A and B are shown apart, each in its own frame.
Chain A
Amino acid sequence: MTNLQDGNGDPLMSPGNGPDLSQIVLIGINHKTAPVEIREKLAFSTEETATALGTFRNSPFIDEAMIISTCNRVEVILIVKNQTQAVETVFSYIGDTKSVSPDRLKTLAYVFSGDSAVRHVFRVAASLDSMMIGEPQILGQVKDAFKASVNTKTTGVIINRLMHKAFLTAKRVRSETGIGGHAVSISYAAVELAKKIFDSLDGKTVLLVGAGEMAELAVEHLIRNTSSGNLLVANRTLSSGVALAERFRGQAIRMEEIPEKLKFADIIISSTGSPDFVITRDQVQPIMRWRKNRALFFIDIAVPRDIDPAINRIDNAYVYDIDDLQGVINENIDIRQTESLKAERIVDESVIKFIEWHEHLDVIPTIIGLRKKLDAIVDMEMCKTMHALDHLSSQDRLAIERMTESMVRKILHDPTLFLKNPGSHRNKSVYLDFARKLFNLDS
């Protein structure tokens, strides 16, 4: 899984040279590489993310950092000074804080650098790497992750630009392809399964635990299939539960009421942020007797999981977590194949554009760009002025041309020196980017 080229310090990464593309590194695990048990263990809460970013910022090998942590993935995006050591830093940090051996972590994680890291970021934001391709929540999650790292001041020019482009790419993918249009996934899969347990969903009661965006999506589709059913919404903050319940003409309840309401519910969808199980086997066991063994279907879309998987061993109770739903989802993938080709093309375009921008972030192209810009201005102005001064001799003209050339050279002298060496602890790309913006070199 680890596709990190080994080598003690890339020669291109040595100071003095401009930023090499391989300074962009991405370390991650997702639903394809790690089972839900590991993912829930590795997931970063908001506070943990801030602490981790603080640590990475202090590492001498890391310039910029950002962490995306959702139920299906943990991705660490880094702009590094030394790839090998930066990656090692991250692995050992995660290994320590999450008490997973770094060796085990390395077998589960992928490490991308350069253009493949950029492509991966774009694909994640565009929901092409999602468990349910095209699901819309991931973009919001990436935006939140970006905001969090901006707040901890661990992002710089490159991550800012990268994320900015990622958002644009995601927007294009959504508006130009039909990828998000197909009955989105979790809810779709859940309904398909529910129909294999219950003959008809009419009149079934749905209990929603946690009033998140994900849950809302699932319920929307489900409610459309249960014409006369009831909806119960349990949420930590009653007010948002009430708001959601109102939308679907349901009833809001308190978290404490869940065990009692399990007697009447048929389908339970859970998506809270709770670190522990919200519904345990001991709660469900007695309820089944009360329900006269009418089936109970638990859909657990939370990571870490909300529903005790042991409940699946109770007769007539069925528990599906987010990984289990994958099997059902896979069947609808063919439909999206053509659309995803289109989406991949959009991503490729964005990657090329980003690489172009990144190459320009180098010192030499920037200086050349500056020079060209000034030369062009001089040429144009000279041309205009010389038209009006045709009494000048050719020697006079030559003298003036030499003067303008030397002006350009002298104007550029200090900026060039500064850009080549902005000071040992300063991030060169910030100044390069600034210079390019100041002189409008990228338009």
Chain B
Amino acid sequence: MAALHFSIIMLYLISSAGYVIFLFAQKEIFHRFSYYLLVAGFAVHTALIGVDCIRIGHIPVNSLHQTLSFAAWTLAGVYILVKYRFRVNVLGVFAVPFATLIMIAAFLIPEASMAPTRLFKSLWLVVHIVIIFIGEAALALACGTGILYLLQEHAIKTKSNRFFLKRLPSLEFLDRNGYMFIVTGFTLLTIGLITGFIYAQLVWGRFWSWNNKEIWSVITWLIYAALLHERLVSGWRGRRAAIMSIIGFAALLFTFLGVNFLLEGHHDEFTRW
């Protein structure tokens, strides 16, 4: 299993390197090569997760090791899809190294062995987990796009940095894609939260229990809701939208991991190690 894990990391790592080289050299061949490596890594990763599923009988998000691996897998998958559909090649410079880092972190954390819980058997929960993870991957891409936007915007405003000006796509393109990622991510996050509440109702008999995890989820959701609302009503686009998508993602990361480590709440099996 470790060998499988290791080969995934190697494929992702070489792919990341390829994307970085692509950023500097701007040769088509590098990003195509990196993309194929990423797809190969993703295929192996899918196999690994499939094996885990069969072994433990449910989605492998039962420990920090599994959760991170699953997050990296969704991020890689979502990026592959986005790149295939929208041709945002340069975003790979953000997405692939990020997925690789998560994967390396997962590799360094020993797999906690524990008895499978009955909790993970419900269909609502499967839907809740899968949708939230895909939504989070989309919001990660929104954050990456926001960072690229700020770099490009800075290059254009200060008129000094020709490096990014030449290599990054236009502001309008980045803004439009960032918006698309946020709309997608937000929609999935909403559906994910609703299924989560329904599941809570089924298991604990109540939708809402003032749990830290729930509170922070709603805070994150509100940040993105505010961003979308302001965009539609008063035209928060460009720089502000980019900054908000980064702040939103920071809140998301805190909800995802920070709450489990720093505060008390349910979902703790999520980050066991």
Interface residues of A (CB under 8 A from B): 193, 195-199, 289, 291-295, 312, 315-316, 318, 320, 324, 327, 331
A193-B156, A199-B176, A327-B159 are known contacts. Are A315 and B238 too (CB-CB below 8 A)? yes
Q: Mark B136-157, 1 if CB is under 8 A from A, else 0.
A: 0000000000000000100011
CB-nearest residue of chain B to A330? B162
Task: Give the shortest distance, in Å, between B155 (CB) and chain A (any CB).
Answer: 8
A331 to B163, CA, bound (A): 12
Residue from A196, A199, A292, A331 whose CB has the most chain B CB atoms within 10 Å: A196
What are the 3 A-B residue pairs with the smallest beta carbon separation, nearest first?
A292-B235, A199-B172, A199-B173
List of B residues within 8 angstroms of A291 by Cβ: 235
* Residue contact B157 to A295, C-beta cutoff 8 Å: no
* Residues B156 and A294 in contact, CB atoms below 8 Å apart: no
| 0 or 1 for each of B221-241: is its CB under 8 Å from A? (1 = yes) | 000000000000011111110
Residues of B within 8 Å of A324, CB to CB, are 159
A294 touches B162 (CB 8 A): no
How would residues 46 to 72 of chain B score, 1 for a CB under 8 Å from any chain A CB and 0 otherwise? 000000000000000000000000000
Given contacts A289-B234, A289-B235, A292-B237, contact A199 B169 (CB under 8 A): yes
CB contact list, B154-197 vs A, under 8 A: 156-157, 159, 162, 165, 168-173, 176
* B235 contacts A295, C-beta separation under 8 Å: no
Q: Is the CB of A199 within 8 A of B170?
A: yes
**B240 contacts which of A197, A295, A315 (Cβ < 8 Å)?**
A315
Are B172 and A295 in touch, CB under 8 angstroms?
A: yes
Instruction: Kindly list chain B residues whose C-beta atoms are within 8 Å of the C-beta of A315.
Output: 238-240
Contact indicator B238/A295 (Cβ below 8 Å):
yes
Interface residues on B, range: 20 to 34
Q: Which of B186-215 contact A (CB under 8 A)?
A: none
The answer on a CB contact under 8 Å between A198 and B172 is: yes
What residues on B are CB-neighbors of A198 within 8 Å?
Answer: 170-172
B152 to chain A: closest CB distance in Å?
7
**CB pair A197 B162 closer than 8 Å:** no
A197 to B175, CA, bound (A): 10
The closest CB in chain B to the CB of A315 belongs to: B239
- Tell me, in angstroms, the Cα distance from A318 to B157 when the chains sit together: 6
**Separation of A87 and B204 alpha carbons in the complex (Å):** 93
A204, closest chain B residue (CB): B172
Residues of B within 8 A of A312 (CB): 157
Q: Provide the bound-state CA to CA distance between A315 and B172, in Å.
A: 14
Residue of B nearest to A313 (CB): B157
- Do A327 and B170 touch (CB < 8 A)? no
Q: Are A196 and B237 in contact (CB under 8 A)?
A: no
Residues of A within 8 A of B156 (CB): 193, 196-197, 318
Q: Contact between B235 and A195 (Cβ–Cβ < 8 Å)?
A: no
B227 to chain A, nearest CB (A): 13
Specify the chain A residue showing the minimal Cβ separation from B176: A199
Residues of B within 8 A of A318 (CB): 156-157
Is A316 touching B237 in the complex (CB atoms < 8 A)?
yes
The CA-CA distance from A331 to B165 in the complex, in Å, is: 12
B170 adjacent to A316 (CB under 8 Å): no
Smallest Cβ-Cβ distance to B164: which chain A residue: A196
A-B contact pairs, 26 of them (CB 8 A): A193-B156, A196-B152, A196-B165, A196-B168, A197-B156, A197-B171, A197-B172, A198-B170, A198-B172, A199-B173, A199-B176, A291-B235, A293-B235, A293-B236, A294-B235, A295-B171, A295-B172, A295-B238, A315-B239, A315-B240, A316-B237, A316-B239, A318-B156, A320-B159, A327-B159, A331-B162
CB distance from A298 to the nearest CB of B (A): 12
Besides the contacts A196-B171, A199-B173, A294-B235, what 14 more A-B pairs have beta carbons closer than 8 Å?
A: A196-B168, A197-B156, A197-B171, A197-B172, A199-B169, A289-B235, A293-B235, A293-B236, A293-B238, A294-B237, A295-B172, A316-B237, A320-B159, A331-B162
Nearest B-chain residue to A297, judged by Cβ:
B156
Shortest CB distance B14–A (Å): 30
Residues of the A chain whose Cβ atoms lie less than 8 Å from the Cβ of B152: 196
Which single residue of chain B is at the shortest CB-CB distance from A316?
B238
Task: Write the chain B residue with the least CB distance to A194.
Answer: B170
Q: How far is the CB of A198 from chain B (nearest CB, A)?
A: 5
B162: which A residues are within 8 A, CB to CB? 327, 331
Complex CA–CA separation, A295 to B238 (angstroms): 8
Q: Provide the residues of chain A in CB contact with B173, threshold 8 Å.
A: 199
Would you give the 0/1 interface string for B97-121, flagging 1 where the beta carbon is closer than 8 Å to chain A?
0000000000000000000000000
B168 nearest CB neighbor, chain A only: A196
B237 — which chain A residues lie within 8 A by C-beta? 292-294, 316
Considering the chains assembled together, what is the distance between the CA atoms of A327 and B159 in angstroms? Answer: 8
Structural contact, B234 and A292, CB atoms closer than 8 A: yes
Question: Complex Cα distance A199/B236, Å?
Answer: 18
Q: How far is the CA of A294 from the CA of B237 in the complex (A)?
A: 7
**A315–B239 CA distance with the chains assembled, in angstroms:** 7
With A and B bound together, what is the CA distance between A293 and B234 in angstroms?
8
Which residue of B159, B169, B237, B240 has the most chain A CB atoms within 10 A of its CB atom?
A: B159
Q: What's the least CB distance linking B178 to chain A, in Å?
A: 13
Q: What are the residues of chain A within 8 A of B165 when measuring CB–CB?
A: 196
**Cα A195 to Cα B157 with chains together (Å):** 14
In the bound assembly, the distance between CA atoms of A320 and B162 in angstroms comes to 14
Contact B170 A195 (CB under 8 A): yes
**Which B-chain residue is minimally distant from A326 (CB atoms)?**
B159
User: B7-35: contact bitstring with A at CB < 8 Å (1 yes, 0 no)?
Assistant: 00000000000000000000000000000
Q: How far is the CB of B200 from chain A (nearest CB, A)?
A: 39
**Distance, CA A199 to CA B173, complexed state (A):** 5
- Could you say which residues of chain A place their CB within 8 Å of the CB of B168? 196
Q: Which residues of A contact B172 (CB under 8 A)?
A: 197-199, 295
Minimum CB–CB distance for B146 against chain A, Å: 14
B155 (CB) vs chain A CBs: closest residue: A196
Q: Kindly list chain B residues whose C-beta atoms are within 8 Å of the C-beta of A327.
A: 159, 162
Q: Which residues of A contact B235 (CB under 8 A)?
A: 289, 291-294
Distance A293 CA – B235 CA, assembled complex (angstroms): 6
User: Could you say which residues of chain A place their CB within 8 Å of the CB of B239?
Assistant: 315-316
Q: How far is the CA of A318 from the CA of B172 in the complex (A)?
A: 13
Interface centre among B152, B168, B234, B238 (most CB of A within 10 A): B238
Most B CB within 10 A of own CB, among A316, A318, A320, A331 = A316
Interchain CA distance A320-B236 in the complex, whole Å: 23
How far, in Å, is A199 (CB) from chain B's closest CB?
4
Contact residues in B for A195 (Cβ distance below 8 Å): 170
Q: In the docked arrangement, what's the CA distance between A193 and B162, Å?
A: 11
Shortest CB–CB separation between residue B173 and chain A, in angstroms? 4
